[in-house]
């Protein structure tokens, strides 16, 4: 997930003949299914693109803690609280693997945080939507993590070794999260009238933003073509969105909930659902910073970073003193 | 005292519940990503222990209440945690200092409870003691790093210690409940836990270059339920809201 609008710096895909020998050899390795490792030569565009994509993904994990953290202190049972805590802890862990993967490309975690905090790097637009009821914890797990998995499973085969390996660990945990989310939805959908209402309301609010998570149609995009040639993007946005709807629509039916799309119906001929596109104007508004929670999410991150400065400085200073004392003793 | 065991289990379970809740308030806001993970992990351990202690309390009470009923449907006056753990988080230094002062007590307490004459208590303690040992290692290291680190961090840690110190004594105050459990061999002697705590605290604070406050005044009223702080009511208003707003619902 979570890298929904990454523009590559390439100007379209070059043919093998147009490439210089080094670039050609690189592309041939990718075509042969080789993994690229940190010390290998790689084109600048590949490196830059990956930093943006992995960074966006890492930031999404970190910012994604906030809408769920919003309900940890109000979780309705001890078990639900523990499950949610475990989930948020996993997400912070995913952030950590991904920042480490990005660091192998020559950018530091602090630089990436800086770019998140000053708005130069994005995170998934889904986290700019509020979590208003407990059912939203179900919807986030079921829909948001569900959409993330759609995106991430293919990325386990991505060409960059550290990214692919991080993705394998992440996918295992994400599937678990999705099942937990669905379990919350099931409890709610089969619960009291008030709980059913919460469940339906959560689906109403999260359906289209979840479809947006795959990014706008990129069939004609030269940026996407380049990323696909480099195997840092494995499917088009539309393919993944279709797959997501095909998986999710029957689940909604099973829950007895109504997907907020009157045009949603099974199309026998294409073997998939027809469905309405999300409002892409809303998507671009959210990306630009005008989503319901953009300001709050970023301010929360900045506040955490600023208020934590003294802790980071102190830990460095202490480590430095210890190192000096050890040297003096030797 | 027929209810002594029930009371005692509430003390254990409410300490972990309330502290776990406080720490979980940090979610996504810690100064360093590794600290976010560690705080969530600690909160998770404490919630797990809460499920076990309050589960056993409910069983001992045998009035048909569950661990969740005890956590979400009791009011302030029925909580039995020490006041220190319900104090608001303050800055990161204050949170870590509170954690350390508690961990330094929790570990020897659980260690003693492993030898409880009540098999159920001993089993929970055995499971929890490993977690508590890791918590103490981590909180002590962090107190040392922040106490020793910079001028600012030193000042913040000293101020956290000065604020929390009058709340630390309550952990060792005994009453008829403690006496009854000591006699029946269920719980260890708090007067023997105290010197272990003091030794850990003195050693750690010395390394952290912090000054141990001299005043031994202790606020009390949490573990007996006589009088909590104003903060607990606000915490419960948040923690118990869903259960209270939608009674009888299954989540």
Whole-number pLDDT of residue A330: 84
Whole-number pLDDT of residue A3: 57
How confident is the model over A100-124, as pLDDT tens digits? 999 999 999 999 999 999 999 999 9
Whole-number pLDDT of residue A4: 61
Where would I find the beta strands (DSSP E) of B55-213? none
- Assign A2 a pLDDT band (cuts: 50, 70, 90): low
Q: Cα(A244)–Cα(A275) distance, rounded to whole angstroms?
A: 11
8-state DSSP, A7: P
Whole-number pLDDT of residue B53: 98
Kindly tell me the sign of the dihedral angle through the C-alpha atoms of A71, A75, A79, A82: positive
Nearest chain A alpha carbon to B41 = A89
Inter-chain residue contact A69 with B93, CB threshold 8 Å = no
Q: Phi, psi at residue A272, to the nearest 5°?
A: -160, 175
Q: Cα(A231)–Cα(A29) distance, rounded to whole angstroms?
A: 11
**Percent of chain A at pLDDT exceeding 90:** 89
Whole-number pLDDT of residue A283: 95
Whole-number pLDDT of residue B34: 95
Place of tokens 């099942």: A179
Whole-number pLDDT of residue A295: 95
> Which residues are within 8 A (CB) of B162 and not within 5 positions of it... i.e. 6 or more apart?
B213
Q: What is the pTM of this model?
A: 0.94
Whole-number pLDDT of residue A5: 62
How confident is the model over B138-195, as pLDDT tens digits? 999 999 999 999 999 999 999 999 999 999 999 999 999 999 999 999 999 999 999 9
Average pLDDT of every residue of chain B: 97
How confident is the model over A114-154, as pLDDT tens digits? 999 999 999 999 999 999 999 999 999 999 999 999 999 99
Whole-number pLDDT of residue B2: 58
Q: Cα(B50)–Cα(B18) distance, rounded to whole angstroms?
A: 9
Question: Looking at per-residue confidence, does A218 or A270 come out higher?
Answer: A270
CA B118 to chain centre: 21
pLDDT at residue A11 is higher than 90: no
8-state DSSP, A126: G
CA distance A303 to chain B (A): 8
Residue B188: both structure tokens together = 């260890």
Give SS3 for A274.
Answer: strand
8-state DSSP, B229: -
Asked whether A181 and A149 are in contact (CB, 8 A), the reply is no
Place of tokens 């909604």: A252
Q: Cα(A181)–Cα(A175) distance, rounded to whole angstroms?
A: 10
How confident is the model over A14-48, as pLDDT tens digits? 888 888 999 999 999 999 999 999 999 999 999 99
- Assign A1 a pLDDT band (cuts: 50, 70, 90): very low
- Assign A8 a pLDDT band (cuts: 50, 70, 90): low
Asked whether B58 and B69 are in contact (CB, 8 A), the reply is yes
Average pLDDT of every residue of chain A: 93
Q: Cα(B251)–Cα(A82) distance, rounded to whole angstroms?
A: 13
**Residue A328 vs residues A323, A324, A325, B36: alpha-carbon distances, Å:** 9, 6, 5, 34
pLDDT at residue A9 is higher than 60: no
pLDDT at residue A274 is higher than 70: yes
How confident is the model over B65-102, as pLDDT tens digits? 999 999 999 999 999 999 999 999 999 999 999 999 99
pLDDT at residue B113 is higher than 70: yes
**Residue A61 vs residues A53, A215, B74: alpha-carbon distances, Å:** 13, 17, 36
How deeply is B212 buried, as exposed, middle or buried, from its count of CB atoms within 10 A (0-12, 13-18, 19+)? exposed
> B88 and chain A: CB distance < 8 Å anywhere?
no
Q: Which residues of A fall within a CB distance of 8 Å from B37?
A: 89, 92-93, 96
CA distance A67 to chain B (A): 9
Nearest chain B alpha carbon to A320 = B149
List, as ranges, residues 49-78 from B with C-beta within 8 Å of A: 50-51, 54, 67-68, 71-72
Domains of chain B: 2-214+226-245 (1.20.1260.10)
Residue B155: both structure tokens together = 């000042």
């Amino acid at each position: 997930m979570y890298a929904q609008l990454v523009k590559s710096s390439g100007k379209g895909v070059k043919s093998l003949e147009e490439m210089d020998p080094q670039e050609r050899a690189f592309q041939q390795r990718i075509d042969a299914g080789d993994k690229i490792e940190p010390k290998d030569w790689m084109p600048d565009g590949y490196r830059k693109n990956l930093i943006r994509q992995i960074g966006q993904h890492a930031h999404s994990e970190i910012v994604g803690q906030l809408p769920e953290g919003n309900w940890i202190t109000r979780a309705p049972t001890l078990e639900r609280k523990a499950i949610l805590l475990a989930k948020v802890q996993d997400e912070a862990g995913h952030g950590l693997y991904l920042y480490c993967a990005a660091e192998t490309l020559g950018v530091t975690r602090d630089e990436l945080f800086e770019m998140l905090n000053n708005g130069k790097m994005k995170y998934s637009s889904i986290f700019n939507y509020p979590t208003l009821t407990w059912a939203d914890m179900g919807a986030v797990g079921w829909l948001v993590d569900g959409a993330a998995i759609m995106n991430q499973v293919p990325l386990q085969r991505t060409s960059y070794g550290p990214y692919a390996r991080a993705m394998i660990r992440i996918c295992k945990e994400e599937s678990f999260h999705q099942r937990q989310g669905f379990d919350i939805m099931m409890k709610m959908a089969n619960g009291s009238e008030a709980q059913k209402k919460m469940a339906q309301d959560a689906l109403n609010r999260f359906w289209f933003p979840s479809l947006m998570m795959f990014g706008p149609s990129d069939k004609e995009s030269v940026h996407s073509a380049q990323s696909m040639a480099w195997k840092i993007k494995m499917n088009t946005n539309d393919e993944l969105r279709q797959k997501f709807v095909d998986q999710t629509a029957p689940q909604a039916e099973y829950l007895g909930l109504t997907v907020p799309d009157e045009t949603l119906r099974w199309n026998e001929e294409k073997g998939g659902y027809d469905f309405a596109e999300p409002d892409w104007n809303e998507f671009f508004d959210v990306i630009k910073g005008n989503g319901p929670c953009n300001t709050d999410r970023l301010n929360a991150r900045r506040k955490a970073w600023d208020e934590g400065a003294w802790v980071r400085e102190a830990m460095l200073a202490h480590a430095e003193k210890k190192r000096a004392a050890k040297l003096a003793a030797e | 005292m027929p209810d002594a065991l029930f009371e005692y289990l509430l003390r254990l379970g409410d300490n972990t519940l309330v502290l776990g809740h406080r720490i979980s308030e940090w979610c996504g806001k810690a100064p360093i990503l590794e600290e976010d993970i560690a705080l969530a992990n600690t909160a998770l351990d404490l919630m797990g222990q809460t499920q076990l202690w309050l589960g056993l309390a409910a069983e001992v009470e045998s009035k048909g209440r569950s661990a969740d009923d005890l956590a979400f449907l009791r009011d302030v006056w029925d909580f039995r945690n020490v006041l220190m753990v319900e104090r608001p988080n303050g800055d990161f230094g204050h949170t870590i200092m509170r954690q350390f002062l508690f961990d330094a007590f929790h570990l020897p307490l659980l260690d003693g409870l492993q030898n409880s004459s009540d098999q159920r208590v001993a089993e929970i303690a055995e499971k929890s003691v490993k977690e508590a040992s890791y918590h103490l290692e981590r909180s002590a290291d962090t107190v040392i790093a922040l106490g020793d680190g910079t001028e600012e961090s030193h000042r913040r840690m000293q101020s956290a210690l000065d604020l929390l110190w009058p709340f630390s004594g309550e952990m060792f105050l005994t009453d008829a409940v403690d006496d009854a459990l000591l006699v029946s061999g269920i719980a260890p002697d708090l007067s023997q836990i105290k010197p272990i705590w003091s030794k850990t605290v003195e050693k750690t604070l010395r390394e952290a270059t912090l000054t141990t406050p001299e005043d031994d005044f202790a606020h009390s009223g949490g573990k007996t339920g006589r009088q909590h702080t104003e903060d607990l009511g606000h915490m419960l208003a948040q923690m118990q809201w869903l259960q209270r707003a939608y009674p009888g619902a299954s989540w």
